[in-house]
Amino acid sequence: MKRKKVLHDKKTVFIVLVCIVLCFTTATAINKPLILIDGAVSHADVRSINGVFYVPLRPFAQSMGASVQYDAKTRQVHIYSNDSSAQMNQIWNINGLTFSNLTYQDSKYQQVLIQVYNGTDRRISIDSYQIIFYDARGSILSFGTFSIYGLEKNKLQILSSNLIGKIEGYKRIVIQ
C-alpha cells in the first residue's frame, strides 16, 4: 500500500489560510448592503438578523443632517431634523402626558390637531397646554391652547386648537 505524500511546508499552509480568509471576507462583503444617503456612501455598520437589516440610529440619523438626543429618564430617543416640517412629527412628554402626531389641519382657520396620551396613573379631569411656533430668530409666529377634558389613564384623545397668527416659516415648536 502506497502512502500519499502530504505537503507540510509553511508556504503551502499560509497560501491555503489566505485563500480561506479571502473567501469569507469576499462573501461577507458581497452580502453586506450598501447604504447611499443623497448619493453618498454611508459607512454605518449594517447587521442582518433573521433577514432584517439593522443600522445604528445615531450615525445614520446624523448622516442625514438630524440631531439625536437620548432621554435617560423616559428611556426615549428623540430625533430632530433641521427641516422645520419634520418638527410636526416630534413627541413631547409633559407631566406623564405624551403629545404627538401634530397636524396642520386647516390653513383658513389656522387649526392644528394633536394627539395626547395619558400615561399617568390618574384621570385628567381638566387641563390646558399652550403650543407656540417660533421663527429662526426665536420670535413667536403663532400660538394656541389645547384643553383636555376627562382623559382617563392609559387613554388617547385628539385635541384641536385655532392658532393666532400664521405658522409659515416656523423653525421650532414648544408645548407647555
Q: Where do the structural domains in the chain lie, given as residue ranges? A: 10-52, 66-175
Cα(35)–Cα(42) distance, rounded to whole angstroms?
A: 5
Cα(164)–Cα(143) distance, rounded to whole angstroms?
A: 6
pLDDT at 115: 87
Mean local confidence (pLDDT), 154-164: 86
Give backbone dihedrals phi and psi of 137, rounded to 5 degrees, phi first.
-85, -5
Most confident of 11-15, 41-45, 77-81, 119-123: 119-123
Per-chain mean pLDDT for the chain: 74
pLDDT at 152: 92
Model confidence at 27, pLDDT cuts 50, 70, 90, reads very low
DSSP letter at 164 equals B
Cα(136)–Cα(172) distance, rounded to whole angstroms?
A: 8
pLDDT at 26: 47
Model confidence at 84, pLDDT cuts 50, 70, 90, reads very low
* CATH topology for the 66-175 domain: Immunoglobulin-like (2.60.40)
